[in-house]
Amino acid sequence: MDWGAIFSNAAVELISPTTAAYALAALGLAVHFGYTGLLNFGQAGFMALGAYGYAISILTFGFPVWGAFLVGVGASVLFALILGIPTLRLRADYLAIVTIAAAEIVRLLFTTNTFASVTGSANGLSGYKNEFAALNPLADGTYGFGPFTNNAYDTWLRIVAWSIVILAALLVWQIMRSPWGRVIKGIREDEDAVRALGKNVYAYKMQSLIFGGVLGTIAGMIFALPRAVVPSNYQTTLTFFIYAILLLGGAATVLGPIIGSMIFWVLLSFFSGFVARAVEAGWLPFMSSIQAGQLRFILVGVAIMLIVIFRPQGIFGNKKELAFVR
């Protein structure tokens, strides 16, 4: 068994752009669920809008990177408004139902053949990376050390992705310790009480939905840059993985989603490498290599269950300030 390769492959995930994308999406969900108490089950929809908004703007309309970025963000603001206007006046569970359905609608719209010339239908889109790569100030060559050695494009992508994550984390940290964040946390506790104190609860919930959704959208763009945009990536399971990351790290925390994402991806990669090699080595004779590919999700699930059972507030959560166990 090549433990070195297993650990080194797992370590790669620690700073991979995918980890950064999940961290950012989970941070958006922390704003929604952890701080405001909004049950958004459509984070995958926000991510899809980011990925497609970016890719379509560049491929179909030939926008520059910043233009494509703004299109994605604009689409997500619009999406949040459409979701929020009818549902934010209702009880929290309605938002959950509407968001999960809306995210599926978004994915199916991108999948349908009707718009195949623009969206690429089920095959998705690719070939939108040159514009981003052209901004790379790094000279060709390899950068980094050990498992973190990458070529110039991948290094540039990692720098940008994690810079955005750090910026977003600082933004969330600052805004949640401001009076705005105090109102938001008050809404999580009891929105009628906050309303009785003269705050426009509806507007605050809308702002929170947009803010967290935009973070999810930017995460979708980061997620799309190392791979192609394929609609099947944006299924409901994506939202649930992000929820798993959020609960793992701590719902109403800033560091939680980031560290949670790192742990999630390192564990996933570790189990995947370990199980595949264990099957090769004949340790698991009852299992084919295809079955082994699914086993990693079971093991990650068990690991997350253990954390949630024995540390329900998440890794960074304050045991008292916990939205989902009372």
CA distance linking residue 202 with residue 180, whole number of Å: 13
Under the binding rule (CB under 8 A), the answer on residue 171 touching another protein is yes
When asked if residue 179 is in the footprint of another protein (CB under 8 A), the reply is yes
87 versus 272: smaller Cβ distance to another protein: 87
**Smallest distance from another protein to CB 54, Å:** 25
Q: How many angstroms separate the CA atoms of 218 and 72, rounded?
A: 8
Q: Is 243 in the site for another protein (CB under 8 A)?
A: no
- When binding is defined by CB under 8 A, the residue of 122, 142, 182, 305 that contacts another protein is 182
Residue 91 vs 182, nearer CB to another protein: 182
**Helix boundaries (H) for the chain:** 3-12, 17-29, 43-59, 65-87, 92-111, 116-119, 130-134, 152-176, 179-189, 191-196, 201-224, 236-249, 255-280, 289-310
- Here's the x/- map for another protein, 200-239, by CB under 8 A: it reads as xx-----x---x----------------------------
CA distance 294 to 36: 34
67, 121, 195, 235: residue in contact with another protein (rule CB under 8 A): 195
Told to check if 2 binds another protein by CB under 8 A, we report no
Which 8-state DSSP code applies to residue 141? S
Q: Check residue 151 and report its DSSP letter.
A: E
- Specify the residue, 51 or 172, whose C-beta has the smaller distance to another protein: 172
Indicate the residue among 23 and 323 with the shorter CB distance to another protein. 323
Structure tokens at 131: 């514009």
What lies within 8 Å, CB to CB, of 156 at 6+ separation is: 133, 135, 136, 137, 138
- The verdict on 189 binding another protein (CB under 8 A) reads yes
Q: Is 194 in the site for another protein (CB under 8 A)?
A: yes
Q: At what angle do helices 17-29 and 43-59 cross, to 10 degrees?
A: 130
Q: Are 149 and 143 in contact (CB under 8 A)?
A: yes
* Interface stretch with another protein, choices 16-24, 65-73, 123-131, 196-204 (CB under 8 A): 196-204
Q: How far is the CB of 180 from another protein (least distance, A)?
A: 4
In the complex, the residues that contact another protein under the rule CB under 8 A are 171, 174-175, 178-183, 185-186, 188-190, 192-201, 207, 211, 320-323
